[in-house]
Structures are given as structure tokens and as C-alpha cells.
Amino acid sequence: MIFIHNLLLTLGRGIGQVMFQNNALSGLFMLIGIFLNSWQMGILAVCGTIISTLTAYFSGYKHDDIKNGLYGFNGALVGIAVGVFLPLSIGSLIMLIIASALSTWIAYFFSRQRLLPGFTAPFILAVWGMLGVCSWLIPDSLLVSDTAIDTIQNIDYFQAFCLDIGQVMFQGNTVLSGLFFLIGILINSRKATLYTILGALLPIPLAILLEVDATNLNAGLMGYNGVLCAIALGGATWKSGVWAGCSVLLSTVLQILGMSLGIPTLTAPFVISVWIIIMIQKVIRLASKTVRTNKSDEHRLVC
């Protein structure tokens, strides 16, 4: 019973970590949100989390990292992506196993360096690799995403807001998924909840300004990267809020660019925009440190 309890906690945290919530109850609410949209995707999310977590366990990775779900969330996303891009079959399940395990090994690689955090890059690389192999070997096996897109040209702001959150895990057919994701975040962190709301709302006026089609706005395709950006960079200070807002806007522009080029962007706009902001912050800190050092040297010379 203790083993099963610990396993469920690990799996719950793995799903919760998709949105940076190290909380098994948060992960449970997010999983419920997925099942409300698609029971197949719910099962695939669980399978991906289990496979990636077991891969980390048998690879001998740090127990605390495994327990906190750090090797589960990329696998959860991989599992859902398999349901989005491939028909369910023996072949797609084999792809799920390979890609989920690959995401864990890539995540370990990112954990061995300190320049940039991996975030969902392992999921992105694993799924891009999977799609590349399928396009090359079995192109007829690929599906078009079954996300329901509102064909009405008027913007439904409530739907856009909810699906901005739900699309973090490909859930674009019901506003309930996004609301359950938001509840899951609220259970763990009020601050993260506020930044989630910011990340979901801020892309909407920018997308309108850039004349993005209302169908894409209503489908939540403009804001899901912004949600992750806001949570990742959002802190308790106003400066962190500004950086988070800049990252959200940048991710929206990158998403629009990627979609115009026909690229399956996944969460790449989120990862790239946050990496850019982190590098800018490092350059600013380095420049500030250099200025302080120079001033200190000048003061010693005067003295």
C-alpha cells in the first residue's frame, strides 16, 4: 500500500509539473481536466508519465527528482501528443514508449548543465523526432489535430481564456479542461494562479492587434505558451512580473510566426522566449557586476 501510495504521488506530481506544480492533488485535477475532454488522452497522459518515470528509475537518476515528477511531465505531454498526431494502434503505442523514454534521457542531459533549464524542451525534441520519423517512413499515419475550432468570426473571450490554459496539454475541445487546470494550480499556489491568468489574457489583445484570425484565438492557440511563460518567470517582485509579461508577448509573436510557417510549434515558443529572457537577465547582471567592479577599482585608486 505504501508503494502504491508513493507511486500515485509521483505520477500526480509528474502531471502537475507540466504547469510547474509539484503537487499530486494539482496533477489529479489536471488529469480530470484531460479526461473531461478525452478519456483516450487521459489514459495516454498516464501511460506517458509512467513510462518516462520508470525510464528515469531504471536509468538510476536521482530519487528526489523522480519523486518530484521532474522526469514525468515531459512523458505526460508526449503521451497526449501521440493521441493528437497519430491514430491509436500498436505502432503508435510503440512510438509512445520510445518517445517517452527519449524525453527522459533528454531531460537528464539538460539537468547536467546549468546554462539553461530544460523545461518542456525534451518533450518538444522527442515529439518533433517522432513526427519526423513518421513523415519520412509512414506519412499516411499522421493525423490532423482534432481540436474543435469555432468557425464564428467573433471572439469568444471566455472560451479563448479557458482554452489558452487547456491547450497547454492539447485540450481544446472544452472550457472545463482549462478551468480544472486553473483549479489545480490554485490548490498549490495563488501566485502561480495569478500569473496563469496573466499569461492567458495578455496574448489576446496582442493577437487582436496583429490581426490574428478569431478562430485561432477562440481555439486557445495564442495563449497556452504565454501561460507557461508567466508561471515560469513570475515572482513576487514587480520586475519579475515585467519579465514574465515580456516573455508572454514574445511567445505570442513566436507562436504566430511558427503557425504561419506551418510548424507544429508545441511549446517551443514558451521555451525559446523564456530562454531569451533568461539570457538577457544574465547579460544585464554581468554588465551590472562589471560596472560595480570598475567603480570599486576607481574608488580604490582615488583613495
Q: By three-state DSSP, how is residue 187 classified?
A: helix
| 302 — pLDDT class (breaks 50, 70, 90) | low
How many other CB atoms are there within 10 angstroms of residue 249's CB atom? 17
Say yes or no to pLDDT of 147 above 60.
Answer: no
d(CA 239, CA 224): 22
Of 53, 54, 31, the C-alpha closest to 41 is 31
Per-residue pLDDT, 299: 64
Task: Write down the pLDDT at residue 294.
Answer: 72
Mean pLDDT, to the nearest integer, of 262-276? Answer: 97
Closest CA to 74 of 90, 60, 55: 55
Write the CB contacts of 192 (distance below 8 Å, at least 6 apart in sequence). 19, 20, 21, 185, 231, 234
Quick: pLDDT tens for 222-254: 999 999 999 999 998 999 999 999 999 999 999
Length of the chain: 303
SS3 115: coil
- Residues 84-105, mean pLDDT to the nearest whole number: 95
Mean pLDDT of the chain: 92
User: If pLDDT is split at 50, 70 and 90, which confidence band does 296 have?
Assistant: low
Banded model confidence at residue 5, pLDDT cuts 50, 70, 90: confident
pLDDT at 298: 67
Comparing C-alpha atoms, which of 82, 83, 8, 86 is closest to residue 40? Answer: 83
H helical segments located in the chain: 2-16, 24-37, 39-58, 63-67, 73-85, 90-111, 121-137, 157-166, 175-188, 190-201, 203-209, 214-218, 224-233, 238-260, 268-302
How confident is the model at residue 288, as a pLDDT? Answer: 83
